[in-house]
Structure 1
Amino acid sequence: MVERQATQHYGADDIVLLEGLEAVRKRPGMYVGGKDSRALHHLVFEIVDNAVDEALAGYCDHVMVTLMDDNVVSVADNGRGIPVGINSKTGKSALQMVMTDLHAGGKFNNDSGGAYKVSGGLHGVGASAVNALSERLVAEIHRDGFVWRQEYSAGKPLTDVEKVRPLEDGEPTGSIITFKPDFTIMDENDFNYATLAQRLREMAFVTRRVTITLRDERVRPFAKEITFYFEGGLHAFVRSMNRNRDALHPVVHAERDVIVEGKNQVTVGVEVAFQYTDSATVTELAFANTINTPDGGTHLTGLRAAITGVINRYARKAGLLKDKDANFSGSDTLEGLTAIVSVKLSDPAFESQTKVKLINPEVQGAVSQVVTEAFNEFLELNPREARRIVEKCMTSMRAREAARKARDLVRSGPSLLDSSTLPGKLADCSQHGENAEIYIVEGDSAGGCFSGDTLVALADGRHLSFLELIAEQEQGKQNFCYTIRNDGTIGVERIINARRTKQDAEVIRVTLDNGESITCTPDHRFMLRDGSYKAAQDLTNEDSLMPLYRKLSSKSDKGITLDGYEMVWSPRSNSWLHTHLVADWYNRGQGVYKKSDGDHCHHVDFNKLNNNPTNLHRMSATDHLALHRAHLTKTLHRPNTVQKWRVSRQSAAFRQAMSNRMKSPATRAKLSANAKTQWSDPSYKSYMMDHWRKFYNESEEYRAANRAMLMQAQQRHWSSETNRAEQAEHVRAYFHTHPEVREQFSQTAVEQWENPELRAWRSDKTREQWTPEFRSKRRQALDRTYYLKTMNALKRIELEYGTLDLAAYQAHRLQTRDKSLLRFDTLCNRYFEGNETRAYEAVAQFNHRIVSVERTNERMDVYDIEVPNTHNFALASGVFVHNSAKQGRDRHFQAILPLRGKILNTERARMDKMLDNNEIKALISALGTGISEDFSLANLRYHRVIIMTDADVDGSHIRTLLLTFFFRHMHQLIADGHLYIAQPPIFRLVNGKESEYIYGEAGVSEQDILARALERYKDPEKVKVSRYKGLGEMNPDQLWETTMDPQRRTLLQVTIEDAAEADRIFDMLMGSAVPPRRRFIQTHAKSVRNLDV
């Protein structure tokens, strides 16, 4: 029993009767299909349908549709005009009844004396529904010798039917309906000329010998106008649709009336035209009383059944199908068919007011009869063409086995929540249903990853494989990795979402110069020394990889006061940093504690190699020392520590180390500081000064040795008369053999600098450019360039010679004549404060290099992690890599399917070839719907299917190929509104701390969009502009913010306004016929706005 809720009043007064046309305004979707752009244009078609009904009755041969300013539309015909007299039953004007009463019209009386024997408007709803949804409507009727007029607002008459004036001699009768939609109800407010033109063109084909004109007076200075008139009817329509295809035979056309016996004798007018082409697609259009029925109906069923039956009977009769062969199926005989059927009957039955499907049962037999007779006759009279048709059907039958693969892919596949047999590259979401969506992206870079045994370097001192990370993640343990922060410094960051990203993936092996090998997918990106990324498959031995170097601290190193603590190399500062200080930065940045909480960082578990931020705590020096004294058993007094201390002091290495330490200036200085009180004794002071001077003099030779080595190398080269002479002679010889060059240079310089205007102009321009900000940025850029190029060259010398040979480096500088390669002493002074030792160490730690990249024959499951904020991490092998790109999504309801490269052009491919394509199979399997005649929306795993490609030529091509596939093989996915195109930004503008994203606009060039956006800034020259051509150029946070966040993104829904025109465009642009495509390109070449070359 239903549990009763709190009592609420529900009585007779709660029943509401919507009077007049209020029901239409309240629920427009029931009458015109909604409130969107399609419904807006449907208003025009309802009025046009009424005009065409006059043509079907034989009283009209011209319909005029006019688009005017302020979203006003006028539809005029030269028919009989809507009656204006008083209806005897209602006492109201017939015009007012038609325009204000639902189910009022002259099409309900189908007797022999009725006004309409055939009509598309059978519900009596069209005109009144348009009136109800119009802010203003004016009906002007030319009839009975006069012009009549009545005005309405929101479906209600504002005036009575008025007699305006007499008709002039020769002035035709007819109706002119002018209306402006009510945009408080309709969501869209722009009538599309192309949409209207395509539908009216279609009507003109179906209603032959009727002229239909579309005029757009919104265009200035001259209105745009097009007129449609076709003598050939459906025959001409089929020829027009196939003009970009190679036909197998002439168009088969038939037209006649069929009398259907039954309870009531019914006459059905049938016209059919069809033709086979070499295409693999089927194009079908069906009309009932000139109204396009996109969902088909009984007339289309009759056409298909007749064609299949005729071909099977002919093939058996001609011996083309043997007794052992099965009959052709409906799909076999439809492939490559372009067919149009149009029926006219007095009482058509549709599923709804929008008339998308015909349901009259008597129509099927009538159409089948006409098609069978006409097609039988054609095949008998044209045996050569008949054989070609049957052979095409045989090829389709052989391809039917390939279609079974698609069915098996779905039927034997997973349930909606089971991803065990989904494509390995699919990054699925955890929830499915109404809110679920899948992004189809180009390139497997969205999911590059590593073998499960690949080790990741962790901040706690361990190296764990991806499989081990997943296991610890499931146990709730938080791990941290090394990362390169956005400012180029070394850092640590959380590891999240450790997971398997692909099953049975292709992998390659990358070998580094340190002997380490990495197994990963070809597309995984490695970080280069300059902070950019490069796919593994594209790496060469010329590439310089961002390195991870670590060591344990030693008090013997200058400035180091701690022993045995991990240190990590920072590529930005070219220095060693204690890892616990790097982790301390993380904690302070996250607000875990403040620097003022204490001067010391304490390792909570007393393990000084565990530098997880969660293992660090700041405290005062006093408290820290007291804590360690209280826990000596965990530190210095551990038995193993004591034993290790004893053994170490008994070794010769320890004694030598102590000796070396005592000789070092740093140790001497420390001892001196500790013994300052002794210096008050003059005799002691004198003694110490004598011995120190002796030690200093001895040490000076050693300290001078390194400087002397560099100086000697330079002097060795330039002290050679040969070297100096060669360089001088090279310059002298060039100008000797080219005296005209010297003269030309001289003369040009004199002429230029004698011009005072030029000197003034150049001075002004230089002054404008060299602002303090520009000088600073230029200096930074040059410093960065000089540093990276010099360090890279020094590293190459080190690798080639086994040591840093400065003489070889100097020779390399002179040979290449590259002024951006600094002298070694300049490098030391500029970047290392004159410290040569630091410079040598920086070269040693500068990068890693590639030894080889090898293809393997292996396929395996691969894994990855996500790293928030920085999106890169270090492998234990010593290099940094990008993490998976999937963190830009919400894993709960957003899935990502990466497709490698450009998919197959399905416009040209047969079904069997198409289903052998791995990317197509992955797409079919991920969506779960099947394809073509096996397509079922009931199994669709995602409510929104979103195409997301780069904003470049390749991205546009991939998007077009995907649209072709969906249009040809998952047509209903588009028709039901499930297909979308993501709209990523094309520019990012940064002005100080503020930034904004700029999106593309249809018909507007990128240059114009950018110029218009920059106009909003006071100083456009200071605005930093970033152009996004690839999605990979955005970091994951930007991708989420601009393209994937449902609250802020923009999606373009893919719709089909006109199936016939869409079919023609796809066939022309993606089909095999070249001439039509060439003509299209030549015609539109001058209108190209964004040419990518």
Structure 2
Amino acid sequence: MEETKYTEDNIRSLDWKEHIRMRPGMYIGKLGDGSSADDGIYILLKEVLDNSIDEYVMGAGKTIEISIQGTRVIVRDYGRGIPLGKVVDVVSKMNTGGKYDTKAFKKSVGLNGVGTKAVNALSSYFRVESTREGKSASAEFEKGELLEQEFLEETSRRKGTKVSFIPDEQIFKNYKYRHEYVSKMLKNYVYLNPGLTIVFNGEKYFSENGLKDLLAENINEENRLFPIAHLKGNDIEVAITYNKTQYSEEYHSFVNGQHTTQGGTHLAAFREAIVKTIREFYNKNFDASDIRKSIVSAVSIKVMEPVFESQTKTKLGSTEMGGDLPTVRTYIVDFVKRKFDNYLHKNPETAEKLHKKILQAEKERKDLSGIRKLARERAKKASLHNKKLRDCRIHLGDVKKERNLETTLFITEGDSASGSITKSRDVNTQAVFSLKGKPLNSYGLTKKIVYENEEFNLLQAALNIEDSMEDLRYNNIVIATDADVDGMHIRLLLITFFLQFFPELIKEGHLYILQTPLFRVRNKKETIYCYSEEEKQAAIAKLKGNPEITRFKGLGEISPDEFKNFIGEDIRLDPIMLDKDMGIEEMLSFYMGKNTADRQNFIIENLKVELDPIEETA
């Protein structure tokens, strides 16, 4: 065997922008196309926005303006402005920024000096403009390369910083900013910074009551077990209530204004603190799951120099608060113990309702214990030879795995579709769970059905969400069914199951529908897959002549070789999102309940007939 030479010629040093462009995942997590809230294009916006938020936190500038028109993003703040002589360095030199001086930025988010550099390197167009004391400096870049800079000795522009960028389509394929995701991100920013105004495409976001407003937005008043308890202290804020109709726990956690979607040390401490406080208040050793069942809460802390487990800062790894303060765990447990205990003493009616809720949860758990034990044994046995789940190697909870945000579980129907996806998937990050026929309509049923129904029980076990969302094994749960009447019905039944028993999977943006192409248009040189009639016409025009056109009827007839084109980097996903104007209970009873006449009228009024184009290959 010939020995490979390893000399000085093999050593290559990349400059900052080349490194970011070659390994974008190290800086912004996954790339994606905008169909998921943690896709790269939102991280780019967030990195720019974090700098403007830090200005507000430092007492400079109460308004931030954001405009997203197509692919162009503009963020304008009225803070202090970047020091004019450093405008180019701050966005193009690694380890340059004001955040290293902890006097100027004590508890900010963007502490590693990488954020705007990553945005610059990953944008086909990037412009930064800073105005201070009547003077202005600006610089324009392309893929991190400086094109031109300008300095004005005199300007009437208001002070602050304006950043414009267009994410590079070579890196982010077929991307689109979704208003819903941007809106949710901005709402979180204003909840965490009461008094801040953010204007997005003319729409105003503002919060007076912080995390209390966040919970009020997420749970309708009629579903709250008791009025939202809003507790505040130095470097910590908490809001708590319980949902009368929800089985699962729901948490919104933040560190230094950063939404930690994967939790971390602060959330673990908060969950522990709730249990400890309630046990001591009632002087009863309740089971932790009974105490936390149906809780809806938000916790926000500020930490000196936080340590996150990834560059995208979705999970806190720090155990220290910083300065002379105790550990994160002790700080949170002490705060909740003192404040929530006081709250319950001052509000006996709330304490009584909460006591009843815990006893009810305990009774339900005991009623279920026999069947749960049986179901677990069944699931354990099945998992040894579980024909339903073809697992992948990397999972969401894996620490320091660069690709764990890509982990996906496809839920498919029928052997042929499952077979095609299984053969063409990425075995590292893509798993397949196959259903046999239509799942049960779980509307109005109790949690008992999750254990009694083998399919639901195995799905719950595959996702690992029986006790909490903390251990969710896949970041994306993708329903992959045919786009016909039966396939649509299966989608509806699965969405009902998740809404009924695990609504936070949907609230936290983990559930999707897989889009599959309707047509294949090809000639001898090129094949184009089309997802709509418009795309088909464009493909025919592009390939000219008389290309062959195939109409796909179902997933089962797409070969594994072709399937990899639809579930690889060009995957198209439609996120399942909740309508904030309609509660889950209300929605489920309308679509899945017995209100036949109302539903019939709704269908008739909203019916849209699309005639299937005649098969052109016939």
TM-score when normalising by structure 2: 0.76
Matched, 1:213 2:199: yes
Structure-2 residue corresponding to 1:310: 277
Alpha-carbon distance in 1 for matches of 2:380, 2:4: 48
Q: Answer yes or no: is the 8 Å Cα contact 2:265–2:316 preserved in 1.
A: yes
Q: Answer yes or no: is the 8 Å Cα contact 1:256–1:270 preserved in 2.
A: yes
Of 96, 99, 104, the residue aligned with 2:91 is 99
Indicate how the Cα distance of structure 1 residues 237 and 1073 shifts in structure 2: closer, same or farther if over 3 A, else same: farther
Between structure 1 and structure 2, the one with the greater Rg is 1
Q: Report matched runs for 1:480-879 at 5 Å.
A: none
Structure-2 residue corresponding to 1:163: 151
Deviations 1:956-1001 (A, max 9, x none): 3431332454576497899998x76454666899xxxxxx999654
Deviations 1:380-438 (A, max 9, x none): 122222122122223323444255455333334442xx35xx6xxx6x88x98799987
Unmatched 5+ stretches in structure 2? 34-38, 320-326, 395-406, 425-431, 522-526, 612-618
Structure-2 residue corresponding to 1:359: 317
Alpha-carbon distance in 2 for matches of 1:136, 1:167: 24
Alpha-carbon distance in 1 for matches of 2:576, 2:89: 32
Of 251, 254, 258, the residue aligned with 2:231 is 254
Of 484, 491, 498, the residue aligned with 1:951 is 484
Indicate how the Cα distance of structure 1 residues 75 and 288 shifts in structure 2: closer, same or farther if over 3 A, else same: same
Alpha-carbon distance in 2 for matches of 1:285, 1:140: 34
Q: CA deviation at 1:116?
A: 1.8
Matched, 1:1041 2:577: no
Deviations 1:128-184 (A, max 9, x none): 111122223221111022122222233233345x3225243xx53110011222333
Q: One-letter code of the match for 2:448?
A: D
Alpha-carbon distance in 2 for matches of 1:964, 1:297: 29
Structure-1 residue corresponding to 2:161: 175
Give secondary structure in 2 for the equivalent of 1:272. strand
Q: One-letter code of the match for 1:228?
A: Y
Q: Report matched runs for 1:1000-1019 at 5 Å.
A: 1001=532
Q: Answer yes or no: is the 8 Å Cα contact 2:420–2:560 preserved in 1.
A: no
Matched, 1:78 2:70: no
Structure-2 residue corresponding to 1:134: 123
Q: Answer yes or no: is the 8 Å Cα contact 2:126–2:163 preserved in 1.
A: yes
Q: Answer yes or no: is the 8 Å Cα contact 1:903–1:919 preserved in 2.
A: no
Q: One-letter code of the match for 1:284?
A: Y
Indicate how the Cα distance of structure 1 residues 985 and 117 shifts in structure 2: closer, same or farther if over 3 A, else same: closer
Structure-1 residue corresponding to 2:456: 920
Alpha-carbon distance in 1 for matches of 2:120, 2:489: 44
Q: One-letter code of the match for 1:12?
A: E
Q: CA deviation at 1:935?
A: 8.4
Matched, 1:440 2:412: yes
Structure-1 residue corresponding to 2:32: 36
Q: Answer yes or no: is the 8 Å Cα contact 1:1056–1:1062 preserved in 2.
A: no
Indicate how the Cα distance of structure 1 residues 36 and 344 shifts in structure 2: closer, same or farther if over 3 A, else same: same
Q: One-letter code of the match for 1:411?
A: K
Q: Report matched runs for 1:1055-1074 at 5 Å.
A: 1067=584, 1070=587
Alpha-carbon distance in 2 for matches of 1:118, 1:934: 28
Give secondary structure in 1 for the equivalent of 2:99. coil
Q: One-letter code of the match for 2:267?
A: L
Q: One-letter code of the match for 1:6?
A: E
Q: Answer yes or no: is the 8 Å Cα contact 1:983–1:1043 preserved in 2.
A: no
Q: CA deviation at 1:59?
A: 1.0
Alpha-carbon distance in 2 for matches of 1:60, 1:275: 33
Q: One-letter code of the match for 1:962?
A: L
Matched, 1:23 2:19: yes
Structure-1 residue corresponding to 2:354: 389
Q: CA deviation at 1:1053?
A: 6.1
Deviations 1:198-233 (A, max 9, x none): 211221122111111112xxxxxxxxx311011121
Alpha-carbon distance in 2 for matches of 1:244, 1:900: 38
Q: CA deviation at 1:124?
A: 1.1
Alpha-carbon distance in 2 for matches of 1:134, 1:1025: 37
Indicate how the Cα distance of structure 1 residues 930 and 252 shifts in structure 2: closer, same or farther if over 3 A, else same: closer
Structure-1 residue corresponding to 2:258: 291
Q: Report matched runs for 1:274-285 at 5 Å.
A: 274-278=240-244, 279-285=246-252
Structure-2 residue corresponding to 1:47: 48
Alpha-carbon distance in 2 for matches of 1:7, 1:1082: 75
Q: Answer yes or no: is the 8 Å Cα contact 2:98–2:104 preserved in 1.
A: yes
Deviations 1:53-84 (A, max 9, x none): 11111112111111246x22111001111112
TM-align CA RMSD: 4.6
Structure-1 residue corresponding to 2:64: 63
Alpha-carbon distance in 2 for matches of 1:209, 1:392: 35
Structure-1 residue corresponding to 2:399: none
Alpha-carbon distance in 2 for matches of 1:396, 1:976: 27
Indicate how the Cα distance of structure 1 residues 104 and 277 shifts in structure 2: closer, same or farther if over 3 A, else same: same
User: Greater RCO between the two (CA within 8 Å, min separation 6)?
Assistant: 1
Matched, 1:328 2:295: no
Structure-1 residue corresponding to 2:308: 350
Structure-1 residue corresponding to 2:143: 154
Q: One-letter code of the match for 1:45?
A: K
Give secondary structure in 2 for the equivalent of 1:390. helix
Structure-1 residue corresponding to 2:398: none
Structure-2 residue corresponding to 1:119: 108
Alpha-carbon distance in 2 for matches of 1:123, 1:182: 23
Indicate how the Cα distance of structure 1 residues 980 and 173 shifts in structure 2: closer, same or farther if over 3 A, else same: closer
Give secondary structure in 1 for the equivalent of 2:67. strand
Of 101, 104, 113, the residue aligned with 1:109 is 101
Q: CA deviation at 1:195?
A: 2.2
Indicate how the Cα distance of structure 1 residues 174 and 286 shifts in structure 2: closer, same or farther if over 3 A, else same: same
Matched, 1:408 2:377: yes
Q: CA deviation at 1:896?
A: 7.6
Deviations 1:230-284 (A, max 9, x none): 1121111111100276111000001111xxxxxxxxxxx1011111111212221
Matched, 1:339 2:297: yes
Q: Answer yes or no: is the 8 Å Cα contact 2:512–2:576 preserved in 1.
A: no
Q: Answer yes or no: is the 8 Å Cα contact 2:225–2:243 preserved in 1.
A: yes
Q: Answer yes or no: is the 8 Å Cα contact 1:65–1:75 preserved in 2.
A: yes
Structure-2 residue corresponding to 1:185: 171
Q: Answer yes or no: is the 8 Å Cα contact 1:964–1:1066 preserved in 2.
A: no
Give secondary structure in 2 for the equivalent of 1:21. helix
Give secondary structure in 2 for the equivalent of 1:136. strand
Q: One-letter code of the match for 1:190?
A: K
Indicate how the Cα distance of structure 1 residues 1069 and 357 shifts in structure 2: closer, same or farther if over 3 A, else same: farther
Give secondary structure in 1 for the equivalent of 2:563. coil
Indicate how the Cα distance of structure 1 residues 408 and 230 shifts in structure 2: closer, same or farther if over 3 A, else same: same
Give secondary structure in 2 for the equivalent of 1:25. helix
Q: CA deviation at 1:29?
A: 0.8
Indicate how the Cα distance of structure 1 residues 1041 and 901 shifts in structure 2: closer, same or farther if over 3 A, else same: closer
Indicate how the Cα distance of structure 1 residues 102 and 414 shifts in structure 2: closer, same or farther if over 3 A, else same: same
Give secondary structure in 1 for the equivalent of 2:312. coil
TM-score when normalising by structure 1: 0.45
Q: Answer yes or no: is the 8 Å Cα contact 1:410–1:930 preserved in 2.
A: no
Q: Answer yes or no: is the 8 Å Cα contact 2:552–2:558 preserved in 1.
A: no
Alpha-carbon distance in 1 for matches of 2:536, 2:291: 53
Q: CA deviation at 1:899?
A: 4.2
Structure-1 residue corresponding to 2:333: 368
Alpha-carbon distance in 1 for matches of 2:470, 2:212: 31
Give secondary structure in 2 for the equivalent of 1:128. helix
Alpha-carbon distance in 2 for matches of 1:296, 1:47: 23
Percent of aligned pairs with the same residue? 24
